Amino acid sequence: MTTDDEAPDGLAGRELVRRGYDELADTYAAEREGNENDALLDRLRSDAPPGRVLDAGCGDGASALEPLVDERPVAGLDFSRSQATLANEVAPGRVVQGDMTALPFADGAFAAVGAFYSVIHVPAEETPAVYEEFARVLCPGGIAMVTTGTEDWAGRNDDWLAGGAPMEWDIFGLDRSTAHLEDAGFTVYETVGVVDGLGDDEKTSRLVAADSDDAEKLFIFARLEP
């Protein structure tokens, strides 16, 4: 792991993340099997008003699109063309390649936005714009669920998932994430910890209390104020 300003191949930041997910699309999909998403989606289902759900940073579509596509109108967006192509097989015609800082959707178009392990790759200075965009595309009372950190951290792995491609993260902890969400008009009402099994032999993750010493990342639930 390294935290140098620039990757060995000259790429850094957004383009490094995009290329990493393009090159490792199938590897990442396999590594994310057996995750904790069902419980989180159940909470999102119960808390969100009726309406369309956006999976922001949808990957191959397994996290939210596949479980929801038969019960709610959905849309997906991913920065990686390869990931968006895979997800379009799950929800044909409803997935686009795009940027979370400038969502290609109308104001108030969604009842909920789920962002599984995606905002953590956005450069820190652009994270507030992501939450502002989530607020813009949500209806009043809509729900955002985002993955963030237990503490502020930034770094890079030059051989992520042993796949030969680099990856970067720029992660805010709970306090700064909450502040940015509140600035965008949200009220944070629940935080859940997760032990992230990505890269482990068993490839399984589990949910824990947000204040657990075992928690590696957090899922934050926030409601857009009417």
How many domains are there within the chain? 1
CA-based R_g, the chain, Å: 16
82 in any annotated domain: yes
4 in any annotated domain: no
Burial of 209 (0-12, 13-18, 19+ CB in 10 A): exposed
Average pLDDT (180-185) is: 98
Q: What pLDDT sits at residue 161?
A: 85
Per the model's pLDDT, the better-predicted residue between 193 and 165 turns out to be 193
6 in any annotated domain: no
Taking only the tens place, the pLDDT of each residue in 133-148 is 999 999 999 999 999 9
Residue ranges making up the domain that contains 133:
13-224
86 in any annotated domain: yes
Reply yes or no on whether the pLDDT at 9 is more than 50.
no
3 in any annotated domain: no
Whichever domain contains 137, its CATH number is: 3.40.50.150
- Strands 186-195, 217-224: pairing kind: antiparallel
Give residues with Cβ within 8 angstroms of 73, minimum separation 6.
51, 52, 53
100 in any annotated domain: yes
Q: What pLDDT sits at residue 30?
A: 74
CA distances from 149 to 55, 73, 178 (A): 19, 29, 11
Q: What pLDDT sits at residue 14?
A: 78
Reply yes or no on whether the pLDDT at 82 is more than 50.
yes
Average pLDDT (106-119) is: 96
Taking only the tens place, the pLDDT of each residue in 19-71 is 888 888 777 777 766 556 788 999 999 999 999 999 999 999 988 899 999 99
Reply yes or no on whether the pLDDT at 2 is more than 70.
no
CA distances from 8 to 2, 5, 20, 34, 170 (A): 10, 10, 14, 33, 18
Reply yes or no on whether the pLDDT at 10 is more than 90.
no
196 in any annotated domain: yes
Distance CA(147)–CA(137), nearest Å, equals 18
Q: What pLDDT sits at residue 1?
A: 33
93 in any annotated domain: yes
